[in-house]
Each structure stands twice: as structure tokens, then as C-alpha cells.
Chains A and B, each alone.
Chain A
Amino acid sequence: MAAGTTTAEMTSAAPVTRRRTPTGDAIRQLRKNKMAVVGLIVILIMIFIALFVDTSLFTFFTGGKAQPLIAPYHYAEVDFLHANAPPLTRTEEGKFYILGTDYLGRDNLSRTLYGSRISLSVAIVAATVSLIVGLIYGMISGYGSAVRDNFMMRVVDFLYGFPLIIFIILMQVYFKALSATDDTNPFVAWLIRIDDAMGGIFLVFVAIGLLNWLGMARIARGQTLSFKRKEFVEASRSVGSNDGRIIRKHILPNILGPCIVAETLAIPGYILLESFLSFIGLGANPPTPSWGIMISETYQAMRVAPMNVFAPAVALTLTTLAFNFLGDGLRDAFDPRLAD
């Protein structure tokens, strides 16, 4: 966007050779923030690992069984003879466990690498769900009449008073228990089939989405309220734009930036929530490797095999740290009012 320079702009501001846009400025600002860049690089590496940890991306199209690609072994491959092996163990069968093995003899490195899939998909799916639901709700509330706005915001206030985390736990237990029984309700059966296919994390996504749109709705509503009174919206209306066009062309593009930044700041929370649910046994189904499950399964035997806990713990901390650095950088770059 910075490269497109026209002669008209050249003449109007001679020393400035590049066209400056708010987005361009923000990206330059972001690039100057070293920690945010490091965070972005770490996240990109993790996305790469999550995509190519095994060949499931290719077998999804070609069919057949996925083979480990970046990971040395499959996450559920057990080796009982070498359970709780220390790091850098080489076995007689020629296997090499760089980070040792857990209590079932599963390779820690492979399980930690596979675990990135769950954490990253929670980050992406939960953020998208929360952003979409919150944006729609907030825009409907903020754009409409004062009566509707008041009513919709009272609903949000009401839900804020709910201890939603407890309802998420109850829902998780409900779905876990349902998947153990054969329910005849086709909708429930369909939900459970999706959940099983995704290793038991689909419902975590649903739960996290249900919990986290409230804050986004408030932000989107506030932004909509401030933009709908702006002159350019008035101008657009005066030349005959209807509400749908104003929302699409004027409100949405303007409020999307701040909302995305706010959403990025919320991502570490989603990752932590997933690991928390997995830790208390309400997240992904074993043997799917989620970092929360890996820690909860092994922390009591930490004296024997500390690496079983450290490998997922470091991965989890690194991920939340990377997202926090990126989120802070984005906020400072895109919202100069918040930057110091």
C-alpha cells in the first residue's frame, strides 16, 4: 500500500516520496517494536509446526494415514520399556528421545509439537467466533435506536453477572457425559460426532466462544456509537445510502481495526482457558496431546521425570508470551491513544 505513488501527491508534498496511510504508519510502528516482531516470528514458526507436524495436511486430500513429519514419532506411540526416560535417551531399537518420554513411554518432543495444534486452533477459532458474534451484536446494538441499544446492553450486563466459567464447566461435563452414552437426539449425536472427530476440543471452542463475546460486543458497540455520528456517515446518508451500505462501507471498516487489536489481546486468555479445562480433565480427550493434559498427567511424578512437565510448560508459556507481545505491539501501533 505504500508503493503506489502518484504525481499529484508528489507535487503536493515534494520531500515525501512515499504515500503515508494510517495502516502503513501502524505497520512501520509495529516493525520498530522488536518484541512484537519476535512474538510474530514465534507464532509463525508455531503455525508452521502445527501445519506440518505430520502429513495430515496432505493425506486430507490424498487419503491414507498421516505420518509424522516434523515430529519424530506419532503422539500416541507407546514404548512401555522406556517409560519416563530422561532426555537424550537412545534405545536398543534405535529410537532417540530428545526430551525423554512420559509415563507411557510416549515421546515428549513429539507430543509437545503436536500440542501446538490444539492451542493454536483454540486461539484462531475462539478469536474468530468471539470477534464475529461480538461485532454483530455490538453493531446491531450501537447502530439501532436508543431503546434497542439500552435493552441489548442490559442483556450483556446481565450475562456479565453470571459466573460463566462455572457454566462452561457444567456444559463441558454435560457434553463429556453425553459422548459416553448413545443419545438418540440427532442434533446431539451430530455435535458429538464433530467433537470426537476433533479430539474433544470442538466443544471447548463452543464454550470459549460463548464466554468471550461480551467484551467484544461492548467494544464494537462503543465504536459504532462514535462512528455513526461522524460527518462522513451523515454525508453518505445524504447521498442516499441505506443502513446496510453505511454499516458495510463506513462503520465496519472503521471499527474493525480496534476490534481486531482487542481480540488479539484476548487470545492468550483463550489459550490459558483451554489448558485450564484440559488440566482439570474437561478439555481434549486423551490421547490427543494438549499441553494442559500433558501437565496434569505428569506433574505429580515431577520428581522422577521433570521434563514431562517442563516440555509442555515451556511451549505453553512461550505461546502466551508471543501472543502477549504481539498484542501489545499491535495495540501500541494501531491505537496511538493507548501508546505512551
Chain B
Amino acid sequence: MTAYIIRRLLYAIPVLFCIILVTFLLARSLPGGPFDRAGDKTLPESIRQNLEAKYGLDDPAYIQFANYLGGIVRGDLGPSYSYRGRSVNQIIKESFPISLQLGILSILLAVIIGIPAGIIAALKQNTWIDYSSSFVAILGVSIPNIVLGPLLIYVVSVQFGWLPAARWGANYKQFYFGWIPPMTKDFWIHAILPVITLGTAFSATFARLTRASLLQTIREDYIRTARAKGLTEYGVIMRHAMKNSMIPVVTVFGPLLIGVVTGSFVVERIFGIPGMGEFFVTSITNRDYPIVLGTTLLYSVGLVLANIGVDLAYAWLDPRIRYD
């Protein structure tokens, strides 16, 4: 197993290299540069050239790329062009934990609501509980973030004034270990609406998958055997059916994480959350290459690690799958 993990991690290196290369080329081929204008005015040619020289942008592209790779090896993602005096490392340190908290809480919400809902729907198949939960689930899959977010703000924040409509209730200085938020009231009241906005669709996806998968599993012979030997219904479901029916659910974790990333771009914008998604989107328009590259690299590392995690989870859920 250890050998397998090491091999997968080694495979990830060329993938990440290609991602950096493609992103580098794409970002550099965007028309316009980072120092075309300051505010609304265009910069004089000489100042622009000096600034570009300062950041090494006048070097040939391959030297810039080599320098950038060298920086990555040393753990330095370079300076930001648009936020003068701040490094990409600093920006990521401040914004990434917020996106991470948002993403983790959304997935937790999805797991806590979606999987039990799917189990109940499957066990009460073809009753009103099943029909109504399936209907709610399909509604949850269909309602887009960009609809749910404004709707929640309008009802909960504007009409009733129960929760704040924007911002995040904690900043990086308060985080434990750099990413765990303080469990203050301020944090939670700001987190509720964005997490619901991002998590609803995933929760509905989990519910639908769990229901379909569990329905298939409880028709298997070994479930009949478990019932025949007199196990309680709870024991049959929890000990025998659950683990096997989780395999298709785990499969969607990869696409789900991409969905979390995509969703975070929108949700962070709607709720004015200073997370990494918002930095990524604005840095592209600002031609802030180091931020674009740094955030893309971080997203990619996350996705690659998550995919390895999913494959390991298969082996745990289904002992027939062996990696060596």
C-alpha cells in the first residue's frame, strides 16, 4: 500500500508540471500585461519597462519559467503584481484557509444531510417519504448557486434580518494552525448562508446516489443471508449494506471537489468573502500572473491528492480492490 501511495505521488509530479506549463503559457499569451495601467490611467512606456524589468518580465519566457520553477522548489510563489508589496504566499496564506473552511463545511453539510436522507429514502422506498425526499433532492440539484445565494440573502438577510448578508466572520490571524477557524458566534453567523448555498447541490447529489446505490445493495444475496441469520434491520443496513453502497458515493468525490472550487468562485463573489476563488478570478483580469499560477497550482495539488484519497477509500470499502 505504501509503495502504491508513493508511486501515485510520483506520477503526480509530471501532471503538476504540465499544469504549471500550460497555465504559464496560457497566462503569458493573454493580451495585455500587468503594468498597462495604474488605476484608470495608462502608464508611461519607460515606467512600464522599468517595472517589467524589476519583476523579470523582460527576460525570455523560458528563463522566466525556469525561475518560477526554481521558486516553487524553494516554496516561493513569487511577488504579486497588483497587490504591491505582498507576496503570493502571503495572499494564499490569508485567503486559502477561508476557501478551505467554506469548502469543508459545505461537504460536511452535504454528508450530514445527504447520506441519511438517501438511506431513509431507500429504506422507505415508494412511500411518501421517499417521493418527497427524492423531489427535494432533484430540486436541490437543479437550483444553481447563483440563484440560491441571492434568494437566501433576500429572504434571510434583507426581509428578516436574521443573518449578515456578506463577509466572513474570521480572518487568518485568528485561525488555529493557520486554517482552523475560531468557533465564535461571529464566524458561524457569517458562515451559515454561504455554506448552505454551496452545500445544497452536493447534499442533493449525495442523497440521490446513496438512495440508488443502497437500493441495489439491499437486493444482494449476502443481505438476504444476513437477514436470514436473524440480524436486526439496523445491523443489516449498518454492518452489511452501508459500506458496500458507499462505493458509488465515493466515486463522485473527485468531480465534487471540482464543483466546490467552481462554486466557491461564485459563492465568494455573492457573499463578498475574501477567499482564494475571488482572488483567482480578479487576478486573471489584472494579469497578475503569479497569483493565477499559484492558485492554479494549489487547486491542482488539492485535486490530485483528493483523487489519490478516493482510490485509497475504494480499497478500504471494497477489499476485493487491491493495489500493489
Contacts and interface: CB of A to CB of B under 8 A. Distances in A.
Does A associate with B in a complex?
Answer: yes
Interface of A: 158, 160-167, 169-171, 173-174, 177-178, 180-181, 268, 272, 275-276, 279-280, 292, 295-296, 299, 302-303, 306, 309, 313, 316-317, 320-321, 324-325, 328, 338, 340
A320 B125 contact: no
A160 to B, nearest CB: 7
A171 B292 CA distance: 13
A313 B262 contact: no
B141 interface: yes
Given A161-B307, A170-B23, A280-B281, A317 B296 contact: no
Nearest to B12: A161
B144 A321 contact: no
Contact of A324 (B141, B154, B285, B299): B141
A338 B216 CA distance: 9
A274 B145 CA distance: 13
Contacts of A302: 150, 153-154, 158
B261 interface: yes
B265 interface: yes
Contacts of A164: 258
A160 B254 contact: yes
A169 B265 CA distance: 11
In which size bucket is the chain B interface?
35 or more
Interface stretch (B25-33, B179-187, B239-247): B25-33
Contacts of A171: 26
Interface of B: prevailing SS: helix
B286 to A, nearest CB: 11
Interface in B253-270: 254, 258, 261-262, 265-266, 269-270
A52 to B, nearest CB: 25
B72 interface: no
A183 B149 CA distance: 39
A180 B32 CA distance: 10
Interface of A: prevailing SS: helix
Interface of B: 12, 15, 18-19, 22-23, 26-27, 29-32, 125, 138-139, 141-147, 149-151, 153-154, 158, 212, 215-216, 254, 258, 261-262, 265-266, 269-270, 280-281, 284-285, 292, 296, 299-300, 303-304, 307
B194 to A, nearest CB: 14
Q: Which residue among A160, A272, A321 has the maximum number of chain B CB atoms within 10 Å of its CB?
A: A272
A340 B212 contact: yes
Contact of B142 (A275, A296, A317): A317
Contacts, number: 121
Contacts of B270: 299
Given A268-B141, A317-B147, A320-B144, A177 B281 contact: no
A336 to B, nearest CB: 12
B150 A309 contact: yes
B146 A296 contact: yes
B15 A161 contact: yes
Nearest to A302: B154
B278 to A, nearest CB: 10
Given A166-B261, A178-B31, A320-B144, 11 more contacts: A161-B307, A165-B258, A170-B284, A181-B31, A276-B144, A280-B269, A299-B149, A299-B150, A303-B158, A317-B143, A324-B142
A163 B142 contact: no
Contact of A165 (B125, B215, B262): B262
B154 A163 contact: no
B147 A166 contact: no
A153 to B, nearest CB: 15
B299 A313 contact: no
A161 B292 contact: no
Task: Identify the 3 closest CB pairs spanning chains A and B, nearest first.
Answer: A321-B142, A313-B147, A320-B142
Nearest to B201: A272
A268 B141 CA distance: 9
B144 A338 contact: no
Contacts of B292: 170
A173 B141 CA distance: 28
A279 B143 contact: no
A276 B146 CA distance: 7
Nearest to A318: B142
Nearest to A313: B147
Nearest to B139: A321
A170 B285 CA distance: 10
A158 B144 contact: no
A299 B18 CA distance: 38
Nearest to B277: A280
Given A302-B153, A317-B144, A328-B138, A162 B19 contact: yes
B300 A162 contact: yes
A276 B300 contact: no
20 contacts: A160-B254, A161-B15, A161-B303, A162-B22, A163-B300, A166-B299, A167-B22, A169-B281, A170-B27, A177-B30, A178-B31, A268-B142, A275-B144, A276-B265, A280-B265, A292-B146, A302-B150, A303-B158, A320-B141, A321-B138
